[in-house]
Amino acid sequence: MVIERRWKRWVFFYIPITLFVIGTLFPFYWMAVTAVRPDEELYRSWRAAHNTPFWTLHPTIAHFQDLLARTTFLHWLWNTFFIACASTAISLFCGLLAGYALARLRFPMAGALGTSIFVTYLVPPTLLFIPLADIIRNFQLGNTPWALILTYPTFLIPFCTWLLMGYFKTIPKELEECARIDGATRFGAMVRIIFPIAVPGILSAGIFAFTLSWNEFIYALIFLSSPEKKTVPVGVVSELIRGDIYFWGQLMAGALLGSVPVALVYSFFVEYYVTGLTGSVKG
Amino acid sequence: MTGGSGSATGVTVALPHPGASRQTPLVRLLENERLLAGLLLAPTVVLLTVFIAYPFLMGIWLSLSSTSVGNPGKFVAFQNFVKAWNDSIFRTAFGNTFFYTFWATIFKLALGMWLALLLNRHFRGKRIVRATMLLPFIIPTVLSTFAWRWMFDPTFSVVNWVLYQSGLIVTKLPFLSNGDLAMWCAIVVNTWRGMPFFAITLLAGLQTISPDLHEAASLDGANAWHRFWHVTWPLLKPVTVVVVVFSIIQTFADFQLIYVLTGGGPANSTHLLATYAYQLGVNSGLLGEGAAISLFMFPVLFIVVWVQLRYIRRLEGA
């Protein structure tokens, strides 16, 4: 190891990493403090006496109660969850099959198809949202969860395919060949031998896809219109700001509650998520 | 697979392929590699064709037409593009998009690299620090951007409070009500959100570099900077290029951050191509013009993707 002096360790390591942690977490802390701070403290002049901007001595759950009473927040949570799960399931299904085909089977145009799936991965939703809104209207899918369940896979499938293809390539071919000598069909070997081995890869792709769909905003903003059908990000934007008035307490309470489920899923599967994240950029 | 081994007479027939005798036509079809590949790829190809290729072609058609909501419109050739180019708000949005992408990517790369180097060391609580560092990337951008908007509030900004209390300013800074300042605020928030992605992917790259190389370099008298520049950086370059390309695409096409933080304001000075396309195409219902503005993103994205593909090919060829 490279030896270093104590003061150097402080200057070049402890202080920078502490600043990084504070900078990363402060907005979330601020979200939480605002959510439990009573209104008269929120909207008090910043030069007022006895100002305690970084904490509150009178925490309240009024904002959470207002949020649940005045909006259909629980509906939004459920919608977001349902849409995220359904689109993740569809993407995993398609990604598993396509990833296997691209990794294992020989067929004409395999290279071109792999490249074009990779390219669609790089197409941002903001390039397509206007024509897509028209298509969704024509398919009579507007204002239904299916508009999102069917469009989210467009950015999830390429990622899942890419990640799982990489995973399948690391599984030795001999395993499948053994199964086939024992009489398994090609399809059977894929489903019973290869897919079970790929479970960690499937989990990584699934967790990553789930957080991506929980995060998605522009399609949800455009395709959904009735308040009770919205997802959390869209609901918070469109229902908690009336005209120019921001209900900061409720907004932050909503932001906090909307973040908790995805943060929980993440905290249980950090390692899988990181594998998915780093795998998502590897060729 | 019971095969023929369970017969009551006790005569066991050793079959090399116990399942072969029960093959249905479907199973035999699935043995054909090409056919199986076609079947496995069908769902993906159908979905991507209907929801990416078709909208893309339709977007090109829309951009060449005068379509608006409730009006089918007719072919107008490149009028929408010309009109956009002569529109001063569009010019601002176009410039902003490059400005925003350039600075945000530079900051994300610099800070992300720094953080990755810090996280690559051994210290107590490393796993938990790494996990918390990713939070800005996990939490829905819209929700965290609201927290930032509240932190930049004109009257109740905590950032102003801190700067004032520490004597750095005497009056409140107009964070989001001044066009230039608002753009920098957006860059700060984008950096905050995207930096963890850089840090964690670069960290994964760093972990593949053998510590022996560093030890050898330091025995040869290389200082920390030389070790980074001559050992770490050349080995990290491939993953860095890929991460930067991903980030450029995401940042260039960004929508939600600006939509929530400034809404394109004040006075349309912070629009990006995506938010301006949304304003025209969805809010004003001018589908043709909106689609044309979206398509202005395409050449840049195309070049970036092309460079990326060439780079990957070259790496694979090497």
Please indicate, yes or no, whether residues A9 and A102 belong to a single structural domain of this protein.
no
How many pairs of residues across A and B have Cβ atoms under 8 Å apart?
A: 293
* Average confidence (pLDDT) over B279-298: 93
What's the ipTM? 0.91
- pLDDT tens-digit map of A264-278: 999 999 889 988 888
- Residue A146 in any domain: the answer is yes
Nearest of B197, B191, B199, B193 to residue B101 by alpha carbon? B191
- pLDDT tens-digit map of A136-166: 988 999 899 999 999 999 999 999 998 999 8
Please indicate, yes or no, whether residues A33 and A82 belong to a single structural domain of this protein.
no
Are the CB atoms for B256 and B171 separated by under 8 Å? Answer: no
- pLDDT tens-digit map of B23-79: 677 777 777 888 889 999 999 999 999 999 999 999 999 999 998 888 888 899 899
Q: The tokens of B308 are what?
A: 């990326």
The predicted pLDDT at position A121 comes to 81
Please indicate, yes or no, whether residues A19 and A133 belong to a single structural domain of this protein.
no
Helix (H) or strand (E) holding A246: strand A245-246
- Nearest beta carbon to residue B140 from set A252, A262, A283: A262
Please indicate, yes or no, whether residues A105 and A207 belong to a single structural domain of this protein.
yes
What predicted TM-score, i.e. pTM, was given to this entire model? 0.90
For residue A265, give how far its alpha carbon lies from the nearest alpha carbon of chain B (Å): 10
Q: The tokens of B163 are what?
A: 């700067």
Q: Name the pLDDT band for B13 (thresholds 50, 70, 90).
A: very low
Give the contacts of A80 (CB within 8 A, at least 6 positions apart).
A214, A231, A232, A233, A258
Are the CB atoms for B33 and A107 separated by under 8 Å? Answer: yes
In this predicted structure, the answer to whether residue B10 has a pLDDT above a threshold of 50 is no
Q: The tokens of B280 are what?
A: 């025209």
Domain that holds residue A11: 1-39
Identify the architecture of domain B89-317 in CATH: Orthogonal Bundle (1.10)
- Residue A61 in any domain: the answer is no
Domain count, chain A: 2
- pLDDT tens-digit map of A82-116: 999 999 999 999 999 999 999 988 888 888 998 88
- Residue A164 in any domain: the answer is yes
Q: Is the dihedral of CA B169, B171, B172, B176 positive or negative?
A: negative
Are the CB atoms for B261 and B145 separated by under 8 Å? Answer: yes
Burial track A239-249 (b if 16+ CB lie within 10 A, e otherwise): bbeeeeeebbb
Q: What percent helix, strand, coil does chain A show, rounded to 5?
A: 75, 0, 25
Cα angle B271, B272, B274 (rounded to 5 degrees) comes to 115
Please indicate, yes or no, whether residues A103 and A153 belong to a single structural domain of this protein.
yes
Judged by CB atoms closer than 8 Å, whether chains meet at B146 and A270 is answered as no
Residue B65 C-beta-side C-alpha neighbours within 13 Å: 16
* Average confidence (pLDDT) over A242-267: 90
Please indicate, yes or no, whether residues A96 and A153 belong to a single structural domain of this protein.
yes
Residues of chain A with Cβ-Cβ distance to B274 below 8 Å are: 126, 218
Residues of chain B with Cβ-Cβ distance to A273 below 8 Å are: 134, 138
We report the CATH number of the domain holding residue A226 as 1.10.3720.10
Residues of chain A with Cβ-Cβ distance to B282 below 8 Å are: 129-130, 133, 222
The predicted pLDDT at position B83 comes to 93
* Average confidence (pLDDT) over A240-258: 88
Query: Strands (DSSP E) along B66-200, which ranges?
Result: none
Please indicate, yes or no, whether residues A89 and A22 belong to a single structural domain of this protein.
no
Please indicate, yes or no, whether residues A115 and A175 belong to a single structural domain of this protein.
yes
Are the CB atoms for B266 and B179 separated by under 8 Å? Answer: yes
Are the CB atoms for B186 and B254 separated by under 8 Å? Answer: no
d(CA A121, CA A88): 15
Please indicate, yes or no, whether residues A13 and A116 belong to a single structural domain of this protein.
no
* B192 to chain A: closest CA residue: A24
Residues of chain A with Cβ-Cβ distance to B276 below 8 Å are: none
- pLDDT tens-digit map of A164-179: 998 999 899 888 888 8
Q: How far is CA A132 from the centre of its chain?
A: 21
CATH 1.10.3720.10 range(s) for chain B read 89-317
